[in-house]
Amino acid sequence: MQKLTIYVIVMAFAGFGVAPVYADGGDSGDSSRLAPFKKLIKAEKYQQAIAELDEALSDKPDNADLLNLLAYSHRKLGHFDIALENYLKALKIDPEHRGANEYLGELYLQLGQPEKAEELLAVLDKECFFGCEEYDELKQAIEDYRK
């Protein structure tokens, strides 16, 4: 009887892990529509990604996934003010956006503001009840920053 109870509990918790995990920027929806932008970013063609993301945002200005990738591209080019503005826009639309929380935390580290990065780590900790890549990466970045 005890084995059956343990099995039921394990299976119940396993059901929570069925939700899709969004890698490469923690997007919150259909990853396939973001693939062309992610391909440019992976190839470090940030300027081209920015141009194409700006165009896509003209049709969907309230798309947190696109804003997150736009901010990431600007951050990689050292355009920290523009990156900050776009991460904050993305988080205004979707405060729990994993990618935007992680990447904004990384930007705060680049700006020498680890306390703000830790605040975003706390947001990810709540969002990632069973753990997630974005939490792990920001936590590691904060640890590396503190060394």
The reported pLDDT for the residue numbered 30 is 61
> What is the number of residues in the chain?
147
Q: What homologous superfamily does CATH list for 34-94?
A: Tetratricopeptide repeat domain (1.25.40.10)
The reported pLDDT for the residue numbered 32 is 81
Q: How is the chain split into domains, by residue range?
A: 34-94, 96-147
Mean pLDDT (whole number) for 97-123: 98
The reported pLDDT for the residue numbered 31 is 73
Whole-model pTM: value is: 0.80
Question: Between the CA atoms of 78, 44, 103 and 142, what dihedral angle is there, to the nearest 10 degrees?
Answer: -80
